[in-house]
């Protein structure tokens, strides 16, 4: 079933009625200079969020209770109706262009945005909403909404939005926005804000980030790219809190009947990426934290870095996590984060991988693997450096045959022996 804007259909009346659905987002052309972000708003009967925790986006990946889950690559949301709080009667799903207005971008630069609603379990497609966006001046687009009507869950295709991006969209639903990266004027002092990078001569100096205010939801996200490869996060008081590094990637083709448009990976084959790091302490000791050789690290004693979980299947929708205990950042000298394709062909282009680094009270940093090779198993993602207590993050995305070459490239000087995950 193809939906038009304004059209709705009943999910509860389907036979069998899905207990959970997922909405997958895609766009054409797939390769675009637009930095697209997805978000979901869980709303009460009044059409507002209960609080900022009902706003699911790149800085908050799920709704408490698990009723809404955002896929790590941001291209899908799973809604489990039975797990939603009773007060939630509507879930709005939106796509926004990061700093679109500032950069003079809009959805008019895409040909089409497309949403597919599927049964989360069987992956059977329930409806497709193809939206021609050629003429759209908006930078925030409400794709559709799941809503409760007479005790029945329905989905409506919307296809409307705002010219001012995520900020006005979030405010529409009652989310307090502390920092709107696409607002007309940069926020008043303290300045400068790292969200408004100025073109700088190469190599651009790392800009210190203004200390953020504690509460309202922070929209700020900084993508490290060619123009802006590094940033320095300023230490506040006792160093940093727990620094969470996430590696996520496009794990399969979306299954079900999805072809072409969603089938970015041929054959639905899964690629498993492993996240790890090389580290060097201030006292000169060094090593690796990785699943290989079961060196998962430790948060409370050196190296103060731990690889979380041991998801060898790569089945976790959230990808892989590595935590760094920021309280001990002063004992670390530098860290190189890396990803490895352990099995199968190292086709990095198909992974569409994204690294995010979040530290409490700091903007989310994002690094996209936007250059690819298919002949090397390892990719150095980012360099974290202790510079006078501050945390300087530099995008790398450089490929290596193995640990040894990577070690040499960044001068860690470790001793390497062959290892295995078991």
Partner 1 sequence: MAISLNKGGKLSLSKEAPDLKKVLVGLGWDARATDGADFDLDASAFLLDAGGKVRSDADFIFYNQLKSTCGSVQHTGDNRTGAGEGDDEALMVDLSRVPAEVQKITFTVTIHDADQRKQNFGQVQNAFIRLVNAETNVEVARYDLGEDASTETAMIFGELYRHSGEWRFGAVGQGYAGGLAAMCRQYGINI
Q: Which residues bind partner 1 (CB under 8 A)?
A: 4-8, 137-138, 142, 147, 149, 154, 156-158, 160-163, 172
- 236/182 Cα distance (integer angstroms): 26
Q: Residue 160 or residue 213: which is nearer to partner 1 going by CB?
A: 160
SS3 content of the chain, % helix, strand, coil (to 5): 10, 40, 50
User: To the nearest whole angstrom, how small is the minimum distance from the Cβ of residue 299 to partner 1?
Assistant: 45
Are the C-beta atoms of 94 and 70 separated by less than 8 Å?
Answer: no
User: To the nearest whole angstrom, how small is the minimum distance from the Cβ of residue 168 to partner 1?
Assistant: 8
Q: Residue 44 or residue 347: which is nearer to partner 1 going by CB?
A: 44
Are the C-beta atoms of 161 and 108 separated by less than 8 Å?
Answer: no
User: To the nearest whole angstrom, how small is the minimum distance from the Cβ of residue 3 to partner 1?
Assistant: 9
Q: Residue 54 or residue 145: which is nearer to partner 1 going by CB?
A: 145
User: To the nearest whole angstrom, how small is the minimum distance from the Cβ of residue 157 to partner 1?
Assistant: 8
User: To the nearest whole angstrom, how small is the minimum distance from the Cβ of residue 88 to partner 1?
Assistant: 16
Q: Which two tokens stand for residue 348?
A: 């990095």
Q: Residue 149 or residue 226: which is nearer to partner 1 going by CB?
A: 149
User: Cis ω on the peptide bond leading into residue 190 (within 30° of 0)?
Assistant: yes
Q: Which two tokens stand for residue 91?
A: 């879930």
User: To the nearest whole angstrom, how small is the minimum distance from the Cβ of residue 52 to partner 1?
Assistant: 20
Q: Residue 95 or residue 157: which is nearer to partner 1 going by CB?
A: 157
Q: Return the bridge partners of 380, or none.
A: 338, 398
Residue whose structure tokens are 């299954």: 255
Are the C-beta atoms of 75 and 25 separated by less than 8 Å?
Answer: yes
For the chain, the first-to-last Cα distance in angstroms comes to 47
- Give the closest residue to 321 by CA, choosing from 306, 332, 336: 306
Q: Please, which residues have CB within 8 angstroms of residue 27's CB and are 6 or more apart in sequence?
A: 36, 95, 110, 112, 113, 114
Q: Residue 131 or residue 380: which is nearer to partner 1 going by CB?
A: 131
Q: Residue 137 or residue 345: which is nearer to partner 1 going by CB?
A: 137
User: To the nearest whole angstrom, how small is the minimum distance from the Cβ of residue 407 to partner 1?
Assistant: 52
């Amino acid at each position: 079933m193809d939906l038009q804007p304004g059209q709705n259909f009943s999910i509860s009346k389907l036979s069998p009625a899905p207990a959970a659905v997922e909405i997958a987002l895609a766009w054409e052309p797939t390769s675009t200079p637009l930095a697209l972000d997805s978000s979901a708003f869980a709303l009460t009967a009044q059409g507002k969020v209960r609080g900022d925790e009902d706003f699911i986006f790149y800085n908050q990946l799920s709704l408490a209770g698990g009723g809404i889950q955002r896929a790590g690559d941001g291209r899908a949301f799973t809604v489990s109706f039975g797990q939603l709080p009773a007060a939630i009667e509507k879930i709005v799903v939106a796509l926004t262009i990061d700093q679109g207005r500032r950069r003079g971008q809009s959805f008019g630069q895409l040909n089409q945005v497309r949403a597919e609603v599927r049964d989360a379990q069987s992956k059977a497609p329930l409806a497709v909403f193809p939206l021609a966006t050629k003429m759209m001046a908006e930078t925030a687009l409400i794709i559709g909404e799941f809503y409760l009507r007479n005790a029945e869950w329905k989905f409506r295709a919307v296809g409307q939005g705002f010219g001012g991006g995520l900020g006005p969209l979030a405010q529409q639903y009652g989310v307090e926005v502390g920092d709107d990266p696409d607002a007309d004027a940069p926020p008043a002092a303290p300045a400068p804000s790292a969200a408004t990078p100025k073109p700088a001569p190469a190599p651009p100096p790392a800009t210190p980030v203004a200390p953020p205010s504690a509460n309202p939801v922070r929209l700020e996200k900084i993508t490290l790219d060619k123009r802006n490869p590094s940033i320095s996060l300023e230490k506040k008081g006792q160093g940093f809190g727990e620094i969470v590094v996430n590696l996520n990637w496009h794990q399969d083709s979306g299954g079900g009947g999805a072809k072409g448009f969603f089938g970015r990976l041929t054959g639905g084959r899964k690629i498993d990426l492993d996240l790890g790091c090389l580290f060097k302490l201030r006292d000169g000791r060094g090593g690796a934290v990785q699943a290989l050789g079961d060196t998962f690290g430790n948060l409370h004693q050196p190296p103060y870095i731990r690889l979380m979980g041991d998801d060898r299947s790569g089945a976790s929708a959230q990808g892989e996590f590595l935590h760094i205990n920021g309280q001990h950042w002063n004992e670390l000298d530098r860290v190189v984060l890396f990803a490895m394709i352990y099995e199968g062909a190292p086709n990095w282009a198909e992974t569409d991988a994204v690294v995010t680094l979040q530290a409490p009270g700091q903007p989310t940093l994002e690094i996209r693997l936007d250059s690819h090779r298919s002949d090397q198993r390892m990719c150095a993602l980012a360099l974290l450096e202790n510079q006078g207590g501050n945390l300087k993050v530099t995008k790398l995305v450089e490929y290596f045959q193995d640990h040894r070459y990577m070690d040499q490239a960044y001068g860690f000087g470790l001793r390497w022996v062959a290892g295995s995950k078991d």
